[in-house]
Structure 1
Amino acid sequence: MPKIVTLPGDGIGPEVTAAAVEVLREVAPDLQFEEHAIGGMAYDAHGDPFPQRTRDALLDADAVLLGTVGGPQNSPWNSLPRPMRPESGLLALRKALGCYANLRPVRVQPGLEHLSPLKPELARGVDILIVRELLGGVYFDQDRKIDGDTAYNTMRYTTPEVERVARMAFWAAEQRKGRVTSVDKANVLEVSELWRRDVQALRDREYRSIHLNHEYVDSVAMLIVSDPSRYDVIVTENLFGDILSDLAAVIPGSLGLMPSASLGDGAGLFEPIHGSAPDIAGKGIANPAAAIMSAAMLLRHGLKRSDAANQIERAVALALRAEPTRDLGGKADTKTFTNAVLEAMGTPVG
């Protein structure tokens, strides 16, 4: 019986995670769920944003389903020492699981082009997979400091770190259109020179059937919203990937439609990419689509159950047409949308 550790987290996290678990229970009734704390709520309860009991629960987990982490900008959590802040718990979670590759699909479903802020002819057919390196770069390097009126953070990568995430991108491209765009800033950053060199060398050694293109991050930031169909798989380092994937999230119409999978050495981590939205937490109006589609990615990548994942994704697309949520210009609340997904899966709703 596969064990799924759920980490609802902060803000709207518990609401959207509950919706995703409800859908998972219907499509995969053999799953066992075990809930634990992370983020700000974990700090309040245990004095640690990533408590030891949560760490221990990951040891025999088959997959991890995460809600959201963090609070409003004026949250008391933000005045804590950095290691005690909610976001530090998230970074520690990724490191504990060895999740070095974050997969973020950006897909405009047929018939839902009207939800995008882009012109329909630009949004139609967009299907991008952003593969973001997740355990290196400026977020994780320990060479960092605030010293009076000077501060610095260091971006650092090694060849093995670059190769393992590039290999994930090439593997994904083999199952798609066979095109990879590697994003860097090699014209000004030495670390990007290394990145470009290593990605190209790996492609030439092991993935000669893949068409590889190199582009600068500032150019991609423009083209991903002005000509998104040019991209198939994008691979990039941690900071660039964070920014580009949030920018690309506007293409389908809302952050509430953006799932993700973080894969690596151990159990995969699956989560919506949106924030904790504390302004609407507890009101029952959060869009659970991204969390539900993250559950689909859990089934596909974590448990190798592609048929069940496809069933959920089809149901979400139907529910978006029938019962769009408020962030998409509709009226559906969290429960209404979840029920629409269950109905589209053929599950009677009481």
Structure 2
Amino acid sequence: MALWLPVSAPSVEAPALHVQSRSALRARPSRGSSTPRSHRSPVQSAAVGFGLAAFARHARAFRAARAQGSGASRSAVSLRAARIDTFLVPGKMDAGKLAMAVAPLAAHIDLSCLCFFGLNVDPALIASVAGGALGIHGMCPVYIADCYGIIGWDKKEGKNVEMMEKGRGSEYGKPGGQGGEGVVVVAFRGKEHGGGGLHMVVKAHGKAELEAVEEGVSYGGFAKACYKLEHSGDLVEVDEFVVSSSVPSAVVSFDGDDAKEVAAGTAKKLPGAATAAGYFPCFCRGYNKYEKDGVEPEAFAGSLEGVPLFGMFAHGELGPLKATGAVAVAAGEAPQTEHEQHSMTSILALYA
């Protein structure tokens, strides 16, 4: 149930995203250079058309009014429990198309982190949307992964869709991905996504070791490259980023053909229904295993109907030992379990 309070009432800000690396609690610049490699994003390129510009002005005015304790922009705001809003923006991409899809997120006052998983989309274009007229990079950390393939919830199709880089996997004797273009948007909302015992770990291939966070349960994998959008608007390449959560969750690693049964068993580890799921399969799975796209997402739907997936095809996957089975994470806890870097494995993380 939503609790409605006047904007002028005191509000509790969601803490900054817990970004953890092995050497320091921050995103690390790429190794091999004395300074981070930066990409200046076009500041106004996301403001495409009068409607988007007007929306962005409204969002900025609302945030400013909230910070000043004024009720000028809205008479009330909704304070809700932690949630993950995620969706796929498929097809040929431009700043206007992506901005119109992302714009509603700019009005939320409880954003803890915004992540983008892109396939065949220039990270600078994504940065121009989040860091342009929408100004989301001033609200919360913004991270971008350039991926070998992506998986996300297609609102129009009403189902989870996967796509993989054309020919990816053929270097290992597989059929090769069938191509595609798109961006998966993942908005972590609420203070419960500012730290905790569940960690989504995304690392740039060849630039960092794929290791679990010391405490709690980690899942994720290698992307082609990782970026952070700085408050200045610069897009800086980093070795890794980590999104930590304290909501009830469960993580499993599997390499068989029993995706439906695995998802059902993992869901039983939750105290309630799953609301979103992180999914990181090896790029030698998907089309390269089944010679058909969407096999595992469709199998998950048998027990996770309507639950949106978010994630990417990885070049090395991180998760608990397969022999351990599904590992549950209670709210606010950080259970200890063994992890390993997998190959030809799928990692599924359910969030309650």
- Structures share a fold, TM > 0.5? no
Give the TM-score taking structure 1 as reference length: 0.25
Give the TM-score taking structure 2 as reference length: 0.25
> Which structure is higher in strand share?
2
